[in-house]
Amino acid sequence: MLDPNPNEERRSLTAALLALVVGGIAAPTLRALDAGKEFPVFDALLFRGKPNLVRQGLQPMAAVADIWRSGLAKTEVDEPGILAALERLRPGTETIFVDIENWPLLGASPEVLSKSVDNYTRTAQIIRRARPGIKFGFYGIAPTCTYWPIARQDKEQLAQWKAVNRALRPLAELVDFVLPSLYTFYDDPAGWSRFAAATFDEARQYGKPIYPFLWNEYFDGNPTLGGKQVNTAAWREELRFCRSQADGLVLWGGYDKNWSESEQWWQTVIEFRRTTARSSGGVLNHADG
């Protein structure tokens, strides 16, 4: 069986990396859907030729990923680099996610873990001081991402994962929302649901809105399915499950691909947005029919 090793699967904007598998969680706790609550869907999509999706009810979420000046060690916090990355944002940007791939958490020694958490919190403090009006979170951090320990219920790895997530509480206090990664590793909807429910359980400890990242394709670390669109029924269920457990969600994907309005995954999103708009008492202004 393929092992996706997604613990540190905080996917960069140019490539997906597979990390060592450590972590897990106990049995998930489901929460009741608040049918009248607004459910934002954020647009972090990268497709070439993508139209303005605000008309379809999505809110833009920009990425901040390149935060080091040339030649500097990426093991350290580069405050001028962070400030420069913020300056590159489009005027009027209100919401961002920070994607950092370089500071190990799961599987790290206590000393390395402490330094990584300090790096993340210092970065958050810099962003907050520089842009007090912007809303932000860190992709795939607090909680971190793991898959197989959840599926296998490995008690030791569960304990390690929970310890790392507890260590990240100081970071969670500084952000506006948490952004767990819920990409699809296999054609196994039941397995994805267990993984997602467990991740939501960990995310709730921070007391912040939960906006998971969803990708309409299977994770590209899977040599068989990577790059293929998630089965339509499974994709629809992922959206529905997030509606029942999260406070919103973020759509990601499309790197180096052309936008197509007719793709089934997108039509499923449009259908989902209409449903959530009705359930929250809102009106979806769509121009695509």
State the pLDDT at residue 28: 45
From its phi and psi, is residue 142 left (phi > 0), alpha (psi between -120 and 50) or beta?
left
Give pLDDT, residue 36. 57
pLDDT at site 35:
52
Can you give the pLDDT at residue 19? 30
Residue 271: inside a domain: no
227 in a structural domain:
yes
Which three-class secondary structure string do you get for the chain? CCCCCCCCCCCCCCCCCCCCCCCCCCCCCCCCCCCCCCCCEEEEECCECCCCHHHHCEEECEEECCCCCCCCCCCCCCHHHHHHHHHCCCCCCCEEEECCCCCCCCCCCHHHHHHHHHHHHHHHHHHHHHCCCCEEEEECCCCCCCCHHHHHCCHHHHHHHHHHHHHCHHHHCCCCCEECECCECCCCHHHHHHHHHHHHHHHHHHCCCECCEEECEECCCCCCCCCCECCHHHHHHHHHHHHHHCCCEEEEECCCCECCCCCHHHHHHHHHHHHHHHHCCCCCCCCCC
Q: What is the CATH number of the domain that holds 216?
A: 3.20.20.70
Closest CA to 266 of 277, 256, 254, 255: 254
Domain assignment present for 7? no
What whole-number distance in Å separates Cα of residue 139 and Cα of residue 67? 14
Say if 277 falls within a structural domain.
Answer: no
Query: CA 78 from chain center: how many Å?
Result: 23
With respect to residue 190, please indicate whether it lies within any of the assigned structural domains: yes
Residue among 78, 208, 59 nearest 143 (CA): 208
179 in any annotated domain: yes
Structurally, how many domains does the chain consist of?
1
Contact 60, 54 (CB under 8 A): yes
Q: What is the pLDDT of residue 12?
A: 35
Question: Is-contact 103 164, C-beta < 8 A?
Answer: no
Does a structural domain hold residue 194? yes
Question: Which amino acid appears at position 99 of this protein?
Answer: D
Report residue 187 as tokens: 């054609």
pLDDT tens, position by position, for the chain (289 residues)? Answer: 334 544 434 333 323 322 322 333 334 444 544 555 789 999 999 999 999 999 999 999 999 999 999 999 999 999 999 999 999 999 999 999 999 989 999 999 999 999 999 999 999 999 999 999 999 999 999 999 999 999 999 999 999 999 999 999 999 999 999 999 999 999 999 999 999 999 999 999 999 999 999 999 999 899 899 999 999 999 999 999 999 999 999 999 999 999 999 999 999 999 999 988 766 555 444 434 3
Q: Is residue 30 part of a domain?
A: no
Task: Supply the pTM of this predicted model.
Answer: 0.86
Write out the residue range of the structural domain in which residue 96 sits.
41-261
